[in-house]
Amino acid sequence: MKKTEKIYIAGHRGMVGSAIHRKLKQEGFTNFITKTSKQLDLRNQSKVDRFFSKEKPDYVILAAAKVGGIMANNTYRAEFLYDNLMIQNNVINAAHGVGVKKLLFLGSSCIYPKFAPQPLQEDSLLTGILEPTNEPYAIAKIAGIKMCDAYRAQYGSNFISVMPTNLYGPNDNYDLKTSHVLPALIRKFHEAKVNKEPHVMMWGTGKPKREFLHVDDLADACFFLMKSFNEAGFVNIGCGEDIAIGELGKLISEIVGYKGTIKNDLSKPDGTPRKLMDISKLKKAGWSPKIGLREGIQKVYNDLKSENWY
């Protein structure tokens, strides 16, 4: 990738897109195209086609998606399927139409079967039933991988896919109804501390295990793969360690300095019991994560306190 070549980052204001944008700027890239969803509705095929014909980007980072935590996925099932399919179909097909040199598609660890062997290896894809709470999102993301592979097989397009684990970092969503667990807990414990509340309510049993990666590590891995990975299939991106949600609650409570207790809201779903990524493919290629969980959460919390909060 030459520093002056044109890069379109779809979803540049989201947590993932903004992290990749920061990373590429740090690396000296200067020629970006970005559009907010108001300026360009990626679900609209003719608008996307017109945009690509006009701009003709050299590279595309496809980080635009409808995303959210377990309740958002489970509630807005139609939009999670429709919006994500439309966005990725339009962008991938238009990228092919104008001969984009390389496209990176971002998926999610929820593409794996609910009871796939842990840690999750890339070849477990499509070997069993999906977790019901995020099946629509997972189906869309699986279709995205297959779109990239189909365009590669038929037209030789260099479209690659990466599957990140659960992410956190700057520009996360702190809305308690739609967010993922980590930002939700930072907010809940912080507010409980400030308001001197006796307990914090966490969803589910606290038993499921999740793996968390700082989005700056993800951006670093994506840049690494943009330079070095040119194959069908996809690459897992994670940190290789997971933690029970109950333990995550204790860790965040400690970082925030909350002194009360934790209660469990058992009316909320647990979701998949575990989704730890096997990152040996990525490690073998030469990339490893750098930001530890405690350090990463501490950094996010410090930044939130010194900025505009959520």
CA distance 257 to 33: 41
Residue 114 sits in the site that holds ligand GFB (CB under 6 A): no
The residue behind tokens 């700082």 is: 214
State how beta strands 199-203 and 32-33 pair: unpaired
Q: Which of 166, 173, 236, 253 forms a contact with ligand GFB (CB under 6 A)? A: 166
Amino acid residing at 4: T
Residue 142 burial class via C-beta count within 10 angstroms: exposed 0-12, middle 13-18, buried 19 and up: buried
Residue 110 sits in the site that holds ligand GFB (CB under 6 A): yes
Coil, helix or strand for 2? coil
Which CB sits closer to ligand GFB, 60 or 138? 138
H or E stretch covering 235 = strand 234-237
Strands (DSSP E) found in 107-226: 159-164, 166-168, 199-203, 209-210, 212-214
| Cα first-last separation, the chain | 35
Residue 293 sits in the site that holds ligand GFB (CB under 6 A): no
Which CB sits closer to ligand GFB, 37 or 178? 178
CA distance 212 to 109: 11
Q: Which of 88, 89, 108, 157 forms a contact with ligand GFB (CB under 6 A)? A: 108
Minimum distance, C-beta of residue 47 to ligand GFB, in the bound complex (Å): 27
CA distance 235 to 222: 10
Binding map of ligand GFB across residues 68-87, x = CB under 6 A, - = no contact:
-xx--x--------------
Which CB sits closer to ligand GFB, 7 or 262? 262
Coil, helix or strand for 301? helix
Residue 197 sits in the site that holds ligand GFB (CB under 6 A): no
Q: Which of 204, 238, 240, 289 forms a contact with ligand GFB (CB under 6 A)? A: 204
Q: Which residues are marked as active site?
A: 137
Minimum distance, C-beta of residue 136 to ligand GFB, in the bound complex (Å): 9
The interface region with ligand GFB, picked from 57-65, 103-111, 190-198, 297-305 by CB under 6 A, is 103-111
**Any idea what the Cα angle at residue 138 is, between residues 134 and 140, rounded to 5°?**
125
Q: Which of 47, 268, 274, 299 forms a contact with ligand GFB (CB under 6 A)? A: 268
Residue 245 sits in the site that holds ligand GFB (CB under 6 A): yes
Residue 274 sits in the site that holds ligand GFB (CB under 6 A): no
> What is the binding site for ligand GFB (CB under 6 A)?
69-70, 73, 108-110, 133-134, 137, 166, 179-181, 184-185, 202-204, 208, 210, 245, 268-271
